[in-house]
Amino acid sequence: MKEKAFLPITREETEALGWDTPDFVYVSGDAYVDHPSFGAAIITRVLESKGFRVAVLAQPDYKSCDDFKRFGRPRLGFLVSAGNIDSMVAHYTAAKKKRTCDYYSPGGKMGFRPDRAVIVYCNRIREAYGDVPIILGGLEASLRRFAHYDYWDDRVRRSVLVDSRADILTYGMGENILTRIAELLDKGVPIKKIRDVRGTVYLCKPDDKVNYEVAATFDFNELKADRKKYAEAFGMQYKNQDSISGRAICELYDGKMLVQNPPMPPLEREELDRVYSLPYMRTYHPIYEKDGGVPAIEEVQFSITHNRGCFGACNFCALAFHQGRTVRSRSIESVVTEAKTITEMPSFKGYIHDVGGPTANFRYPSCEKQLKDGVCPGRKCLAPTPCKNLKVDHREYIRVLEEIEKLPRVKKVFVRSGIRFDYLMYDKDDSFFRKLVKDNVSGQLKVAPEHCSSRILSCMGKPNFEVYQGFKNKYFRLTKEIGKEQYLVPYLMSSHPGSTLKDAVELAECLKRDGYAPEQVQDYYPTPGTASTVMYYTGINPLNMKPVYVATDYHEKQLQRALLQFNRPQNAPLVREALIKAGREDLIGYGKDCLVRPENLRNNRTHNPSFDKKGVKEGQYKDAKQKRKKRDEKSVLKQTNIRSTKPVTAKTNKSCKKRTTR
């Protein structure tokens, strides 16, 4: 039996394998990590399993075309991806400031990939080999396949297929798409003639025949000038992202027509099982050892993905536009087999860090209707209220966890990726909730209420806050019954489209009542491929075409964020300013409901009943100030009211913190 090995990354390695030239060269903006949590690893292993020779060109030197000639001209073409996340998100914060760490690069160092990586890579390949076939894929290409608002340029950019000069683009999960393209190329079909593969986007002449029924055609010149038209276009794209009901969509670009074929059907259980049974090395290439490895592996090395897709469909999340809203899952046997493989790794300490996916507690489509008719284009399965056809069942997920827990070397199995607390609450059987609290929480459970305002939650596509409140109360009740001390870590978001200062004040009051002082707050980040990004740019909700307020001013965003962390002394001036602007001066003072003290303690002594009429001397003032500081710091750590959280310590490579696009 052939020993497992990494795919070749040098010309010497391909020659040692007896290859004159590889069939494909896979170009990636990430360091080479052969683990099924990385798209590059899955695609290259799938093509290898079909008999194709694949070489990996990870993070090539993009300043010239020389490095792209490392393997010579591939027989069938180049596969190009920016990596696991969009290169602009990898490089810049929501405030458009340069990040200090690239989670997917050796040692977490910056500078190994360019901005807008797929465009740069494709242009370098064209310099090197002219008309060689180039196939785009991965998250960056998938989410930028249409004309899209670009937050960093603050304008609508053309499809990345147009700007990159690639031949064809694959969107969504690409295993079957790329297998089909590879087979056609291998049969001698020219890349320009491949126009009928689902899950692909290509360019042609405006009068060329399209192989599928067309839902709509838009003109780029109109989309970049008319925000309402842009919102309408996204709404049409969103409604046609189902493999059963979706139709083709076209865009015109000055003499060319871009065509998106309908989506490829999702992989079924047997297909997913085969993908995850491939011979992954489950770690980064040894070439990175000298740099301290690749930080991204730390969170996933002992984790298992058991499902794909998400019918939660939050408006700020790109999953609906990439993996789709139809859920598929692996068999119990497949998941347990992978767990056995993990237990045999020398560095395994007995803990499976996660058995999850986009949403950990989904295993099947939300209803039987989806299997026949596809997802409903005009409504969501869970929000604002659950669909009457929703099927809620955690029994198989319980079995998955229990079977892994039976393995000899397994001490504990955790669920660390996000769960849908609303879906959990809709289950009339408490079995999974009790098991989760008893066996599968590593001290703290991450959930995503995001906000407390019904109006903002509606803009986000999330359930009403009362559902979270019910979940929280039940979580702590079960925790107490079991006799454990466990916490919730709720994700909160500031400045999402729809949110005003008054909404931020409402959330701050809610946090005050609950005694929760969040260590981290996520500023809303407009990334390609989400309905919320369209709201941010146009001020229109593309799913219903209603107007939405948007905080685009940087200072207002600072005010909203400061309100969510009102307890921090450094935020006090911003909190006071925000409360005054919101007309809520009643929350400035010393009462139990107040968020912040007046600006100058010595000049406002009459507002504090603990001071006598003579005030305090300078020394007494300093002592009182120091006592308050210690008390505030203690309250942040203790969370005196409901024990709702605990400061989170991310398991990352030193100062490099994991980033996700939600």
Residue matched to tokens 């497992």: 4
Helix, strand, coil shares of the chain as percentages rounded to 5? Answer: 40, 15, 50
| pLDDT tens-digit map of 536-580 | 999 999 999 999 999 999 999 999 999 999 999 999 999 999 999
- 28: which strand partners? 58, 81
Question: pLDDT category, 381, cuts 50, 70, 90?
Answer: very high
Residue 165 covered by a domain: yes
- In this structure, how many other beta carbons lie within 10 angstroms of the beta carbon of residue 558? 18
329 belongs to a structural domain: no
Does residue 53 surpass a pLDDT of 60?
A: yes
The backbone torsions φ and ψ at residue 574, rounded to the nearest 5 degrees and listed phi first, read: -70, -40
Q: What is the pLDDT of residues 122-180, one digit of tens each?
A: 999 999 999 999 999 999 999 999 999 999 999 999 999 999 999 999 999 999 999 99
Q: What is the pLDDT of residue 40?
A: 97
Query: What confidence score (pLDDT) does residue 62 get?
Result: 97
- Dist CA 200 CA 193 (whole Å): 13
pLDDT at res. 521 = 87
Measured CA angle at 630 (ends 626, 632), to 5 deg: 115
459 falls in which pLDDT band (50, 70, 90)?
A: very high
Distance CA 306, CA 51 (A): 26
pLDDT given at position 654: 42
Q: What percent of the chain has pLDDT over 70?
A: 90
The DSSP symbol for 90 reads H
What pLDDT was estimated at residue 69?
97
Residue-wise pLDDT tens digits, 328-362: 999 999 999 999 999 999 999 999 999 999 999 99
pLDDT of residue 517: 87
Six-digit token pair at 510? 């809610």
Residue 189 falls within a domain, yes or no?
yes
As for how many domains the chain has, the answer is: 1
Give me the torsion for CA of 134, 24, 210, 321, rounded to 10°. Answer: -80
* Structural contact between residues 240 and 247, judged by C-beta atoms closer than 8 angstroms: yes
In a domain, 149, yes or no: yes
pLDDT digits (tens, 9 = 90+) for 207-260: 999 999 999 999 999 999 999 999 999 999 999 999 999 999 999 999 999 999
pLDDT at residue 600 in the model: 74
Token pair listed for 118: 């797929």
- Angle among Cα 244, 278, 34 to the nearest 5 degrees reads 100
Helices (H), 98-165: 117-129, 138-143, 160-164
pLDDT of 652 higher than 60? no
Q: Residue 464: helix, strand or coil by DSSP?
A: coil
State residue 601's pLDDT score: 53
Least confident of 70-84, 165-179, 364-378: 364-378
Q: What is the mean pLDDT of residues 78-95?
A: 96
Average of per-residue pLDDT across 272-284: 97
Is residue 643 predicted with pLDDT exceeding 90?
no
Question: Is residue 415 one of the residues assigned to a domain?
Answer: no
Instruction: Look up the CATH number of the domain holding residue 73.
Output: 3.40.50.280
pLDDT at 213: 97
Within a domain: 196: yes
Is 22 part of any domain?
yes
If one compares 210 and 626, the residue with the highest pLDDT of the two is 210
* Amino acid identity, position 627: K
CA–CA distance, 313 with 310 (Å, rounded to integer): 6
Which pLDDT does position 659 carry in this prediction? 44
Question: Can you tell me the distance from the alpha carbon of 521 to that of 492, in angstroms, rounded to the nearest whole number?
Answer: 6
What is the C-alpha separation between 367 and 365, in angstroms, rounded? 6
- Residue 662 clears pLDDT 50, i.e. is over it: no
**Which segment of 63-77, 422-436, 504-518, 598-612 scores lowest on mean pLDDT?**
598-612
Q: Which domain holds residue 148?
A: 11-200
pLDDT tens digit sequence for 405-427: 999 999 999 999 889 999 999 99
Res 636: pLDDT: 37
Give the β-pairing of 248-253 and 256-260: antiparallel
The pLDDT confidence band at residue 378, using thresholds 50, 70 and 90, is confident
Query: ω into residue 490 within 30 of 0, thus cis?
Result: no
Residue 87 located in a structural domain:
yes
The alpha-helical segments, DSSP class H, found in 130-268 are 138-143, 160-164, 175-186, 220-223, 227-239
Per-residue confidence (pLDDT) for residue 586, from 0 to 100: 95
